[in-house]
Amino acid sequence: MVTKPVSPWDSPGFLRFWTASTVSGFGTYVTTLAIQVLIVLSLHQGSVAVGLVSAARWLPYLLFGLVAGVLIDRTRRRPLLVATDLGRGVLLVGIPLLAVTHQLTLSVLMAFMAVFGLMSLLNDAAFQSYVPRLVPTNLLTAAHARLDQSDAVSQTSGPALAGGLVSLLTAPWAILVDAASYLVSGILLMRISVAEPPGQPLSIRGVRQDAVEGLRWVYKHPTLRLIALNTHGWFLCSAVVGAVMPAFALRTLDLSPFGLGLALAGGGVGGLAGSLAATRLGARWGSGRVIVACRALSAVSWSFVALSTPHWYGWLVFGAGQLLFGFSLGAENANEMGYRQAVTPDRLQGRMNATMRSINRAMIVIGAPVGGFLGDTIGYRPMLWAGAGGFLVVALALGLSRFRDART
C-alpha cells in the first residue's frame, strides 16, 4: 500500500530540490546587491545605469519567453535546471576576472547580464513547472511556501553578508559567492531521480501553435487573465522603484553598502514571516483576498521608503519599508503560485509560467530604464512616491475584480 504524501517533504526529490533552491537563492541575493554597488560606486554610474543593466538582465524574457515555455513543456525539466545552473555559475566567474583586468565596462556588464538572463529564463520556467512533478496538487501551496521560506532566510542573510563581502573584497569578487552557489545547486539537482515524461520533437510550426495555445490559456482563462494583467502592472511599478532605490539609499540616505545590505535583510525577515503565514492565510481568507491585501501592503511599504531621511531614524523607516515589502511578497507568492498551478494542467505548466514571467519581465525592461531616467532627472524621492501610488492602483484594480474570491 502506497502512503499518500501529507507534506511536501514526503514527496521523493523535494528535499534535494528545496536544498538546491536554497543554496542558489542565497548566492543570488549576494549578487543582487553586489551588482548594484558595482554600478553606483565602482563604475560611478547613476540610476539610469542601474535601470539599463536591469533591462538587459530581463530582456531575454521579452524576446524568448514564449518559446521557452514551449521548450519546457516538450522536454524533461530537470536536465534544463542542471545545465542552466552550471552555466550561470561559470558565466559569473567572468565578472571579477574582467574587473581585475580593468576591462569591465557598463556595456560589457549589460552583455553578461543578458546572457545570464537567457539562462535564468529557461531555469525559472523549468523550476516553476518542475514543482507539480514533485508534489501532488493539494500540496502545491505548501511546497511553494517552503521554497519561499528558505528564500526569505537567504534574503535575510544574503544582503547582510553581501554588504560585508563588498566592503571587504569589493563588489566584483563578492559575485564569486553566487557563482559557487549555482555550481552546488546544479550538482544537487543531478541527484534527483523523479521520473519525467520523455521529450517531444520540436518544429517551427509546432512551436508557434504551442505558444499561441499557452497565450490563450492564460489570457482567456476567467481568473488567470485577471491576475496576469494585474501582475504585469505590479512589475512595472516594481521596476521603477527598483531602479531608483539603490542610488537613493547610497547617495540620498548616505547608507554604506553594508548598511544597505542590512536594510535589505529586513526584507528577508519580512519574507520569512509572510511565507510562514501564507498557507494559513490562504486557507482562511482565500488566495484572492490574500493577494489583494499583499499588493496594498506593497504601496504602504514603498511609502515608508519614500519617507526615509539620512538620519538613523530615517534608516529605520527605510528598513521598516523593506520589512513590510518582504512580508507582502512572502505571503502573496505561495498563494499566487499555488493557485496558478492548481488550475493549469501539467502539459501547459511551462507555457503558463513562461508566458506570465516573460510579460512580467518585459515590464522591467520598460520600467527600469524609464524609472532610472526619471529618477536622475526629477529626483529619486518623487519617483518612489510615484511607484507607491502605482502599487495602490494595482491593488485597487485587483480588489474590485472577481479574482478577490479566488481560492486554491
CATH code for position 303: 1.20.1250.20
Confidence label for 156 from pLDDT (cuts 50, 70 and 90) = low
Residue 46, SS3? coil
Do residues 29 and 326 lie in contact, with contact meaning Cβ atoms separated by under 8 Å?
Answer: no
pLDDT score of 2 more than 70: no
Mean pLDDT of the chain: 85
Domain residue limits at 305: 10-192+203-405
Over residues 152-168, the mean pLDDT reads: 70
Q: Is residue 390 situated within a structural domain? A: yes
Q: Is residue 168 situated within a structural domain? A: yes
Report the b/e string of 42-55 with b at 16+ CB within 10 A.
ebebbbbbbbbbbb
Percent of the chain with pLDDT over 90: 30
For residues 361 and 62, give the distance between their C-alpha atoms in angstroms, rounded to a whole number: 7
Kindly give, in sequence order, each residue whose CB lies less than 8 Å from that of residue 389, ignoring residues fewer than 6 positions away: 299
Name the nearest CA neighbour of 268 among 280, 256, 257, 276. 276
Over residues 26-43, the mean pLDDT reads: 79
User: DSSP labels for 316-369?
Assistant: HHHHHHHHHHHHHHHHHHHHHHHHHHHTS-GGGHHHHHHHHHHHHHHHHHHHHH
Confidence label for 1 from pLDDT (cuts 50, 70 and 90) = very low
pLDDT of residue 44: 81
Q: Is residue 1 situated within a structural domain? A: no
Q: Is residue 248 situated within a structural domain? A: yes
Pairwise pLDDT comparison (400 vs 61), residue with the higher score: 400
For residues 8 and 26, give the distance between their C-alpha atoms in angstroms, rounded to a whole number: 21
**Cell numbers given for 197:** 515524461
Alpha-carbon separation of residue 406 from 1, 105, 339, 354 (angstroms): 35, 47, 8, 22
The count of domains in the chain is: 1
pLDDT score of 202 more than 60: no
pLDDT score of 88 more than 70: yes
Q: Is residue 3 situated within a structural domain? A: no
Over residues 50-55, the mean pLDDT reads: 83
Alpha-carbon separation of residue 261 from 150, 246, 408 (angstroms): 18, 11, 35
pLDDT score of 302 more than 70: yes
Pairwise pLDDT comparison (338 vs 229), residue with the higher score: 229
For residues 140 and 374, give the distance between their C-alpha atoms in angstroms, rounded to a whole number: 40
Task: Identify residue 81 by its one-letter amino acid code.
Answer: L
Over residues 292-306, the mean pLDDT reads: 96
**SS3 helix, strand, coil % of the chain, rounded to 5?**
85, 0, 15
